[in-house]
């Protein structure tokens, strides 16, 4: 694994897990319709953390209903369903009301993809503060390591989240911008849901 801080790229030549393959399958559909950035646990997992997860969290850029409908129809055609509702209008309405919606493979509930439109400015900023993981046959966009660490250490704060942050800090020691982490800390520590 090779992190080029200036290029904001991580070269990764890992064996793909079943979860990685599912993520790539989902993203292949999603990125036809909107921009995305993966946040939270899966970022640590794809970069080596030894744990599984029930969900993969993503911010997606706002899209209109017509575009969402096409996205939804392609998901369904490819064996996914939404676990929050069946009607695309209802699902879109959840998104518009700043709620997350989850898609999983048909007849399953986990693992699932938790999609949400950015709610706050700090969420929106994620689209300007991402890294690209470059694998031999795929690219995946993740939020910056500093953003991950700040959210996990100072907003989410569970043991699991702190361990995810620690994994990134140890794996990329010497390459983390702690001034940036501290600035983000000041923003995320006061977030109220």
Partner 1 sequence: MEAQEKTVINKETPAKREFMTPGRTNKEDRINFVKYWANYVKTHSDKEWSSQQNIVIDSQMMQLPD
Residues 24, 26, 31, 35: is their CA dihedral positive or negative?
negative
**Any contact of residue 18 with partner 1 (CB under 8 A)?**
yes
Helices (H) and strands (E) in the chain, counts: 8, 9
d(CA 32, CA 27): 8
d(CA 104, CA 128): 28
Contact stretch for partner 1 (CB under 8 A) within 12-20, 28-36, 65-73, 144-152: 12-20
Contact 26, 76 (CB under 8 A): no
Shortest spacing between CB 139 and partner 1, in angstroms: 15
**H or E element, residue 66:** helix 65-77
**Any contact of residue 19 with partner 1 (CB under 8 A)?**
yes
31 to 50, contacts with partner 1 by CB under 8 A? 45, 47-50
Contact stretch for partner 1 (CB under 8 A) within 11-19, 115-123, 138-146, 177-185: 11-19
Contact 98, 193 (CB under 8 A): no
User: Which among 174, 14, 39, 42 has a CA at the least distance from the CA of 120?
Assistant: 39
What track of x and - describes contact with partner 1 for positions 147 through 186 (by CB under 8 A)? ------------x---x--xx--xx---------------
Nearer to partner 1, 105 or 122 (CB): 105
**Any contact of residue 137 with partner 1 (CB under 8 A)?**
no
Query: How many positions of this chain bind partner 1 (CB under 8 A)?
Result: 27
Nearer to partner 1, 129 or 163 (CB): 163
In degrees and rounded to multiples of 5, residue 130 shows phi and psi of -120, 165
User: Which among 94, 95, 114 has a CA at the least distance from the CA of 26?
Assistant: 114
**Any contact of residue 17 with partner 1 (CB under 8 A)?**
yes
Shortest spacing between CB 11 and partner 1, in angstroms: 9
Residues that bind partner 1 (CB under 8 A): 1, 12-19, 21-22, 45, 47-52, 105, 108, 111, 159, 163, 166-167, 170-171
């Amino acid at each position: 694994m090779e992190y080029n801080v200036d290029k904001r790229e991580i070269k990764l030549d890992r064996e793909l897990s079943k979860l990685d393959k599912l993520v790539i399958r989902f993203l292949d559909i999603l990125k036809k319709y909107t921009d995305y950035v993966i946040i939270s646990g899966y970022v640590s997992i794809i970069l080596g953390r030894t744990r599984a997860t029930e969900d993969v969290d993503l911010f997606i850029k706002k899209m209109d209903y017509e575009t969402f409908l096409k996205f939804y129809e392609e998901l369904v055609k490819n064996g996914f369903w939404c676990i929050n509702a069946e009607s695309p209008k209802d699902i879109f309405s959840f998104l518009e009301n700043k709620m997350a919606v989850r898609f999983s493979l048909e007849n399953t509930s986990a693992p699932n993809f938790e999609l949400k439109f950015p709610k706050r400015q700090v969420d929106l900023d994620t689209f300007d503060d991402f890294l690209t993981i470059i694998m031999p046959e795929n690219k995946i966009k993740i939020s910056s390591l500093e953003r991950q660490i700040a959210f996990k250490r100072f907003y989410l704060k569970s043991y699991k989240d702190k361990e995810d942050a620690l994994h990134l800090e140890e794996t990329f020691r010497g390459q983390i911008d702690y001034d940036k982490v501290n600035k983000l800390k000041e923003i995320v520590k006061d977030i109220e849901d």
